[in-house]
Amino acid sequence: MTDRPDIARIAALVGDAARANMLTALVAGQALTAGELAREGGVTAQTASAHLAKLQAAGLVTGRKQGRHAYYALGGADVAVVIAALTALAARTGHTRVRTGPLEPALRQARVCYDHLAGDLGVALLDSLLARGQLTEDGGRLRLTPAGETLMAAIGLDLPALARSRRPLCKSCLDWSVRRSHLAGSLGAALLARFLGLGWAQREPASRTVTFTDKGRTALREIFGVAADSAT
């Protein structure tokens, strides 16, 4: 029998409810403590440590010690892609958990997915870039066009530096709430970072929610052609 990737082991690790909740909490791209992840997983601190040890051994999370606390993050963007895809699959097939609360509409509108923009607004942004010819899609692969390069340079993105990244420049990521794609890759990450840096958007504390300012809504409409009702 030839050697092949052991997807069953990865599936078993992700398939545990507590570990799945922990991994989902890390999709926002922030490092969390073992205590914070224990609360996300609904387990004791001791049980959380055991789960995290397994996830770390498998390369699904990384850990680092800082002061009195150990912080954990996803093992890479590919892990975030898998978790996002599983979330979208669960939503499409009706395997959902109802979570009510005032933040839910905002979370569906705009949120962080690992390090890029997701939600209604993230999907609208990708749609607009494609419709305006700043991105093209061929066989499921996204490519930045010369018009897109001009746009990205105009808002201050360093495209040569992004192109040197080991990550793909442009990549589609399936959005669990919209069930369509938003923009990921090094360009997606750079765009979200730029939105935050310019004061067009801000991250809500202890949440994946991204809130756009009036200035940001105007910029999205005038620069990116995103309809105003997608950003309100």
Q: According to the model, what pLDDT value does residue 103 have?
A: 45
Looking only at the bridges linking them, the beta strands covering 116-118 and 135-138 are unpaired
Residue 202's pLDDT is 94
CA distance 111 to 117: 6
pLDDT in tens, the chain (232 residues): 457 788 898 999 998 999 998 998 888 777 888 888 988 888 888 899 999 999 999 999 999 887 777 889 999 888 988 888 888 788 777 766 654 333 468 878 899 988 999 999 999 999 999 999 999 998 879 999 999 999 999 999 999 999 898 889 999 988 877 778 899 999 999 999 999 999 999 998 877 889 999 999 999 999 999 975 654 4
Q: Report the chain's C-alpha Rg in angstroms.
A: 18
Rounded to an integer, what distance in angstroms lies between the CA atom of residue 151 and that of residue 33? Answer: 39
The confidence score (pLDDT) of residue 232 equals 41
What's the rounded Cα separation, in Å, for the pair 193 and 58? 29
Sign of CA dihedral 201, 204, 205, 208: negative
Strand 111-113 with 69-74, pairing: unpaired
Look at residues 190, 167, 66 and name the one whose alpha carbon lies nearest to residue 116.
Answer: 190
Structure confidence at residue 206 (pLDDT): 73
- Terminal Cα-to-Cα distance of the chain (whole angstroms): 56
pLDDT in tens, 28-50: 777 888 888 988 888 888 899 99
Please give the pLDDT value at position 132: 95
- Which pLDDT belongs to residue 228? 55
The predicted structure's pLDDT at residue 127: 95
Domain spans in the chain, listed from the N-terminal domain onward: 7-75, 84-230
- The reported pLDDT for the residue numbered 69 is 78
Cα three-residue angle 30-117-228, rounded to 5 degrees: 140
CATH no. for 7-75: 1.10.10.10
How far apart CA 45 and CA 91 sit, in angstroms, is 29
